[in-house]
């Protein structure tokens, strides 16, 4: 009875020895079936879990492979997998319609972990020598093999052993996420009466994770009009108004927008001389952006009539802020303003819509008056 108990204990201990897991953390190594190069035991299960550093994959290949043949590898097999993906299952001595041997095949893990399990059933009719395999860590070229587009570099990707890093084109700054290229565009001041403003890189996709601030600042008395042109393409949402990217326009006390989508806003008469435009983008999307032109007109001044015996240059139907006109008189007349005689006199349309001075009169010169008197005396 004692010998029987000892026998069962030894058998149980042997089973435990043949069903176990080995953890491997080296950058390379060798894996062999139990007892290799002798025949492997029946009813055996061994699992090798290989882990290498992040930024590496695992390359596995076989130098020798000799397992029992079975339909769909039901009996003895080598299974290669990750945490959630079966990479390969091998058995037999040569590949058939229902069996697959590794041959010269190389198995690559998608990440830094690979699990290899050898399983044999309860009996073998012949002698099978098992397998001899080798593994090594290989560098992942994240710049060409990265599957997750959301984690790829915006502009330039640089691979190194064990990892990669991103960089940006001139004029861009790498975001704190270390992959997105954004722009610093806060100091955009426009003081001309006409101009064009666009999103960065227009008509190419605008940068992500950026906030641009544009200011049109003209002299008081001008009124700015805005006109969006050409392509208008800002990321939007079918249900929520402009939650991602948008333009907002502050015109005096009024806040216009947000604007997004593919339909450009109608022309905007801001009724003010000072405009602030905010353009904001989130960390995703490939939209092309926008372009707008602006122009400014001044407050309108009343129409003018030239004085008697005088003329106005230029003479036009309407005059606006900053317009200037020159008043002159016909031959033999002088411009009379505040009891002073002069050849010409200039007035300007002011910001409040009034003229800087009244239209002067034209007075006949003293020489012409004397000539007329002499002419009359001769006639008498």
For residue 5, tell me if it sits in a domain: no
Residues 76 and 35 in one domain: yes
User: What does the pLDDT read at residue 185?
Assistant: 87
Whether the per-residue pLDDT at 186 is higher than 90: the answer is no
Residues 149 and 87 in one domain: no
Q: Write the CATH number for 241.
A: 2.60.120.290
For residue 236, tell me if it sits in a domain: yes
Are 260 and 244 in contact by the 8 Å Cβ rule? The answer is: yes
**Total domains present in the chain:** 4
Place of tokens 């411009």: 335
Task: Point out the domain boundary residue: 247, 266, 298.
Answer: 298
Residues 131 and 147 in one domain: no
Task: Point out the domain boundary residue: 276, 298, 320.
Answer: 298
Lowest mean pLDDT among 16-20, 35-39, 50-54, 348-352: 16-20
Q: pLDDT for 240-282, tens place per residue?
A: 999 999 999 999 899 999 999 999 999 999 999 999 999 999 9
Q: Write the CATH number for 314.
A: 2.10.70.10
Whether the per-residue pLDDT at 2 is higher than 80: the answer is no
For residue 375, tell me if it sits in a domain: no
Q: Helix (H, G, I), strand (E, B), or coil: what is residue 193? A: coil
Q: Helix (H, G, I), strand (E, B), or coil: what is residue 164? A: strand
What stretches of 67-172 adopt beta strand conformation (E)? 77-81, 86-90, 107-108, 113-119, 130-139, 156-160, 163-167
Q: Helix (H, G, I), strand (E, B), or coil: what is residue 14? A: helix
Whether the per-residue pLDDT at 9 is higher than 80: the answer is no
Q: What is the mean pLDDT of residues 6-33?
A: 70
What's the mean per-residue pLDDT of the chain? 89
Maximal C-alpha separation, the chain:
173
Residues 233 and 337 in one domain: no
Q: 3-state DSSP helix/strand/coil percent for the chain, to nearest 5? A: 10, 45, 45
Structural domain range at position 215: 185-298
For residue 247, tell me if it sits in a domain: yes
Residues 131 and 164 in one domain: no
Highest mean pLDDT among 122-131, 142-151, 289-298: 289-298
């Amino acid at each position: 009875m004692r010998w029987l108990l000892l026998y069962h204990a030894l058998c149980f201990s042997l089973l435990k020895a043949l069903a176990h897991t080995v953890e491997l953390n080296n950058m390379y190594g060798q894996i062999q079936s139990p007892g290799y190069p002798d025949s492997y035991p029946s009813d055996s299960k061994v699992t090798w879990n290989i882990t290498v550093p992040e930024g590496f994959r695992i390359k596995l290949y076989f130098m020798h492979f000799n397992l029992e043949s079975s339909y769909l590898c039901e009996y003895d097999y080598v299974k290669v997998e990750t945490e959630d993906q079966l990479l390969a299952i091998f058995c037999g001595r040569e590949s058939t319609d229902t069996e697959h041997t590794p041959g010269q095949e190389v198995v690559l893990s998608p990440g830094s972990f690979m699990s290899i399990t050898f399983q044999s059933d309860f009996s073998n009719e012949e002698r099978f020598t098992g397998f001899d395999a080798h593994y090594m860590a290989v560098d992942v070229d994240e710049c060409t093999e990265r599957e997750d587009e959301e984690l790829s570099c915006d502009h330039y990707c640089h691979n190194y052993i064990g990892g990669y890093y991103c960089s940006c084109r001139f004029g861009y700054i790498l975001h704190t996420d270390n992959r997105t290229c954004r722009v610093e565009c806060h100091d955009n001041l426009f003081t001309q009466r006409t101009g064009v403003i666009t999103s960065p890189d227009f008509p190419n996709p605008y940068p992500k994770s950026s906030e641009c601030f544009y200011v049109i600042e003209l002299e008081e008395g001008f009124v700015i009009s805005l006109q969006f042109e050409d392509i208008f393409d800002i990321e939007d949402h079918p249900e929520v108004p402009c939650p991602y990217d948008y333009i907002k326009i502050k015109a005096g006390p009024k806040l216009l927008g947000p604007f997004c989508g593919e339909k450009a806003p109608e022309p905007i008469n801001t009724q003010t001389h000072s405009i602030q435009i905010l353009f904001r983008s989130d960390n995703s999307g490939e939209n092309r952006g926008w372009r707008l032109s602006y122009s400014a007109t001044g407050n309108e001044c009343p129409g003018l009539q030239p004085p008697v015996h005088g003329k106005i240059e230029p003479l036009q139907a309407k005059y606006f802020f900053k317009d200037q006109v020159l008043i002159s008189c016909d031959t033999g007349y002088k411009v009379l303003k505040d009891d002073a005689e002069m050849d010409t006199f200039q007035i300007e349309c002011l910001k409040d819509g009034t003229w800087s001075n009244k239209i002067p009169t034209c007075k006949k010169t003293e020489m012409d008056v004397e000539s007329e008197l002499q002419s009359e005396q001769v006639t008498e």
